[in-house]
Amino acid sequence: MPGLCPGGVGKLEGMFARSALCVALLLASSIGPARAASGDSDAFGYTVRSSTDGGSPYAYTSVTSGTFLLLGDEDARTVQLPFVFPFYGSTYSSVDIHSNGALTFGAVGYLPWDHTCGGLPTITPRIWAWYDDLDPTDIELVTPVPGVYRSIVGAAPERVFVVEWFQLPLFEVADTLSFQVKLFEADGRVELHFADTQTADGSRNGGATAAVGITNANAAPLLFSCDDPTLSAGFALTFYPPCDDVDGDGYCPGPAPDPEDRDCDDTDPDVHPGAEERCNGLDDDCDGAVPDDEDDGDGDGERGCEGDCDDGDPDRHTGADEVCNGVDDDCDEQLPQDEADGDEDGVASCDGDCDDENDAVHPGADEECNDVDDDCDGGVDDVPECDPTLPPDPDGVPYGCLLRCSAEAPAAPSGAAWAIAFAALFARRRRRFRADRAP
C-alpha cells in the first residue's frame, strides 16, 4: 500500500513503526501482478515487445537541447502535448511528467517514491519508464545539466514526443541513470529506451528497485519488470496499442508487435501476411517484395505471370509476331520449324539455309563439284558472282560460270578464240545482210 508502509533504506526511514498491520499489508501486496514477458498483452489489448524480440530497435534520442523541466524531489509538471495522444481508449492533450520516472494522464499531482509490486497505484492511466526514488535535486552543475527534459522530434503526422531523464541519481546513490519515453503520433505506440542502467549501489542496478510498464486506470498493469534487474544499456521496450482491423482479414497494419503479422494494406482483405500472391504487381503477402514475375520490366504491357516469357525484351510476349531469330517470340513454348538450325551451321532455314540437315550447305558456303547447290544461291556447281554477259557455252551457261568439274567440261575460250569467234559471227551476219538485199 504505497505511502503507508515505506520500505528499505530511504528518506522516510523511521517515520512509521512497522506494525503487524503494515507487515501484513506488505505481504499481501507482494502477491500482485506477474511480470509480463515480451509478447504478452493485457486485457485492453496492449502488447509489450522488447528490442531483442521483434520490438522497435534501441534508438536513444537525447533531447537535452530541448526544454528543461525544473523538478524537485517527488515533483511533477503538467505539459501540453504537441498532438492528441490516444492511450487506453481515451485521448489526451496533456501529460504529467514525474521526477520519479513516470508519466500520468489526468491530474495526479504527486506520485509517491515508494512502491510495492502488488500495490502499484493505478488510479490514472500511466507509463512507468523507471518508477523509482529518483532525486533531481542531488545533481552536479555540469553541461548539459542533469535533469528531466522534453522535446518534439520529426514533423506531423510522424511527430514523436520525447521525455528524457538524463543522468538522474537514485536517492542517496552517487551514480546516475539515463532513460527516456517516446510517444508516437502516427500509431499511439509507447517506447522506452535505456541508455544507462548501472549505479554505484549494485543492488539497484538494472531496475532492481523499479517498476517498468503501463497501466489503465483501475486495471491490472502490463508490467515488463518490477523490482527485477532486467534492464541493460542499449535495451528498448515497445508497448503497442490494439488496432482496428478495417478490412477484416485478421491482421492489423504496422507497426504491430510481430513484424510477420503486419498488414501492409488494411483496405484490402486479400492483402495480408501469408496471403496468396496474385498476378497484379502488388505485394499481396506483405513480405516487402513484389514477385519478379509480377513486374512488367520491358514495358510491353504484359507481366511474366501473364505469360511474358522474356520480361527483358519488349518484342517477346504472347501474341507477338515470330521473326527469324531462333527464339520463341510469341511465348507459346514452341520454336517454328524453319527457325531451327538443325545442322548447327549457324544458319536457319528462314535465313536461307536450303538444306538444314547438311552443315556444309548454307549461304556463303564454297561451291564444290558435287552436283549440289552448296551456297544456296539457286545454282549447282556454279561460280558465284560470275559475269552473266559472257557468251554461253554449249549448255547455254555463260563461259566461266560453271566449275570445271570434269575434263569434258568446256573450257572458256582464249583471247584468240574469242577474236576468231567474233570475226566468224560478224562475217556470217554480213553475208546474210547482203543476201537479204540482193535483187
Q: Answer yes or no: is 220 within a domain.
A: yes
Q: Mark whether 216 and 364 lie in a shared domain.
A: no
- 355-374 average pLDDT score: 84
- In this structure, are 56 and 192 located in the same domain? yes
Tell me, yes or no, whether 386 lies in a domain. Answer: yes
pLDDT greater at residue 133 or residue 122: 133
pLDDT in the model for residue 259? 63
What is the distance between the alpha carbons of residues 174 and 249, in angstroms, rounded to a whole number? 54
Q: Between residues 419 and 50, which one has the greater pLDDT?
A: 50
Pick 332 or 84 by higher pLDDT.
84
Looking at the DSSP bridge assignments, the partners of residue 94 are: 80
> CA-CA distances (angstroms) from residue 85 to 57, 81, 188?
22, 8, 6
Among 31-35, 120-124, 167-171, 371-375, the least confident range? 31-35
255 in a structural domain: no
DSSP 117: G
Judged against a pLDDT cut of 80, whether residue 11 lies above it is answered with: no
Q: For residue 373, is it within any domain? A: yes
Domain boundary among 240, 255, 280: 240
Sorting pLDDT into bands at 50, 70 and 90, what band is 406?
low
Three-state DSSP state, 222: strand
Q: For residue 307, tell me if it sits in a domain.
A: no
Residue showing cell 510495492: 116
Is residue 437 predicted with pLDDT exceeding 80? no
Residues 223 and 84 in one domain: yes
- Checking 306-315 for CB contacts under 8 A at 24+ apart, the result is 306/279, 307/331, 309/333
The confidence band for 428, taking pLDDT boundaries of 50, 70 and 90, is very low
- The cell numbers describing 123, all together, are 488510479
The whole-angstrom separation of Cα 210 and Cα 225 is: 8
- Residue numbers of the domain that contains 131: 33-240
Tell me if 90 is assigned to some domain.
Answer: yes
Ramachandran angles phi, psi of 188, nearest 5°: 75, 15
Task: State the total domains in the chain.
Answer: 2
Tell me how long the chain is. 439
State yes or no: pLDDT of 439 exceeds 70: no
Which has the higher per-residue pLDDT, 303 or 388?
Answer: 303
* Alpha-carbon radius of gyration of the chain: 47
Distance CA 420, CA 251 (A): 104
pLDDT for residue 258 is more than 70: no
Average pLDDT over residues 225-251: 92
Q: Give the number of other CB atoms < 10 A from CB of residue 74.
A: 18
What confidence score (pLDDT) does residue 424 get? 40
Kindly report which listed range (235-244, 277-286, 344-353) carries the lowest average pLDDT score. 344-353
- 55 lies in some domain: yes
- Predicted confidence band of residue 36 (pLDDT cuts 50, 70, 90): confident
Say how many C-beta atoms besides its own lie within 10 A of residue 160's C-beta.
Answer: 19
Q: How far apart are CA 88 and CA 45, in angstroms?
A: 9
334 part of a folded domain: no
The amino acid that residue 19 corresponds to is S
Provide the sign of the torsion angle of the four alpha carbons 67, 70, 73, 75, taken in this order: negative
Is 148 a residue whose pLDDT tops 90? yes
What's the whole-number mean pLDDT along residues 69-92? 95
Dump the DSSP string for 392-435: B-TTSSBTTSB---STTSPPPP-HHHHHHHHHHHHHHHHHHHHH
| Average pLDDT along the chain | 81
- Residue ending a domain, among 240, 264, 292, is 240
Domain boundary among 218, 240, 262: 240
pLDDT at residue 126, as a whole number: 95
Closest CA to 120 of 32, 186, 243: 32
Helices (DSSP H) in 192-327: which residue ranges?
none
Q: Are 118 and 29 in contact (CB under 8 A)?
A: yes
Please tell me which of 269-278, 299-308, 350-359 the model is most confident about, judged by mean pLDDT: 269-278
